[in-house]
Amino acid sequence: MPSNKTDAPKESQVAGTQTPDRANTNAKLQSLEDVRSDATGQALRTNQGVKIADNQNTLKVGERGPSLLEDFIMREKITHFDHERIPERIVHARGTGAHGYFQSYGNHAALTKAGFLQDPEKVTPVFVRFSTVQGPRGSGDTVRDVRGFAVKFYTDEGNFDLVGNNMPVFFIQDAIKFPDFVHAVKPEPHNEIPTGGSAHDTFWDFVSLVPESAHMVIWAMSDRAIPRSLRMMEGFGVHTFRLINAEGVSSFVKFHWKPRQGVHSVLWDEAQKLAGKDTDYHRRDLRESIETGDYPEWELGVQIVSAEDEHKFEFDLLDPTKIIPEELVPVTPLGKMVLNRNPDNFFAEVEQIAFCPGHIVPGIDFTNDPLLQGRLFSYTDTQLSRLGGPNFHEIPINRPVAPNHNNQRDALHRTRVDKGRASYEPNSIDGGWPKETPPAAQDGGFESFHERIDAHKIRQRSESFSDHFSQARLFFQSMSPNEQQHIIKAYSFELGKVEREHIRAREVNEILANIDLKLAAAVAENLGLPAPTAGTVQVKQMSLAQSPALSQMNHPGTIGIKGRKVALLVANGVDGASVDKLVKALEAQSAKVLLLGPSSAPVKTADGKALPVDASMEGMPSVMFDGVWVPAGQASLEALGKSGLAKHFLLEAYKHLKPMGLAAQGKTLLDALGLQEDTGLLLGDDQPVFEKFFEALKQHRVWAREAAAEAIPA
Catalytic positions: 92, 165
Residues 6 or more apart whose Cβ sits within 8 Å of residue 596: 567, 568, 569, 570, 613, 614, 615, 616, 617, 620, 649
Residue 52 amino acid letter: I
Q: What is the dihedral of CA 411, 415, 421, 424, to 10 degrees?
A: -50
Please provide residue 2's backbone torsions phi and psi, each rounded to the nearest 5 degrees. -65, 145
Residue 503 amino acid letter: I
Residues 6 or more apart whose Cβ sits within 8 Å of residue 560: 589, 590, 694, 698
Q: How many CB atoms lie within 10 A of CB 478?
A: 20
How far apart, in whole angstroms, are the C-alpha atoms of residue 316 and residue 141?
34
Residues 6 or more apart whose Cβ sits within 8 Å of residue 274: 140, 141, 142, 266, 281, 623, 624
How far apart, in whole angstroms, are the C-alpha atoms of residue 326 and residue 254?
11
Which residues make beta-bridge pairs with 254?
Answer: 303
Report residue 468 CA to chain centroid gap: 22
How far apart, in whole angstroms, are the C-alpha atoms of residue 212 and residue 169?
11
Q: In which element (H, E) is residue 150 found?
A: strand 147-155
How far apart, in whole angstroms, are the C-alpha atoms of residue 134 and residue 187?
8
Burial (0-12, 13-18, 19+ Cβ within 10 Å), 30: exposed
Burial (0-12, 13-18, 19+ Cβ within 10 Å), 404: middle
* Rg of the chain on CA atoms, in Å: 29
How far apart, in whole angstroms, are the C-alpha atoms of residue 437 and residue 464?
39
Asked if 657 and 675 touch (Cβ cutoff 8 Å), the reply is no
Residues 6 or more apart whose Cβ sits within 8 Å of residue 301: 255, 256, 258, 331, 332, 333, 334
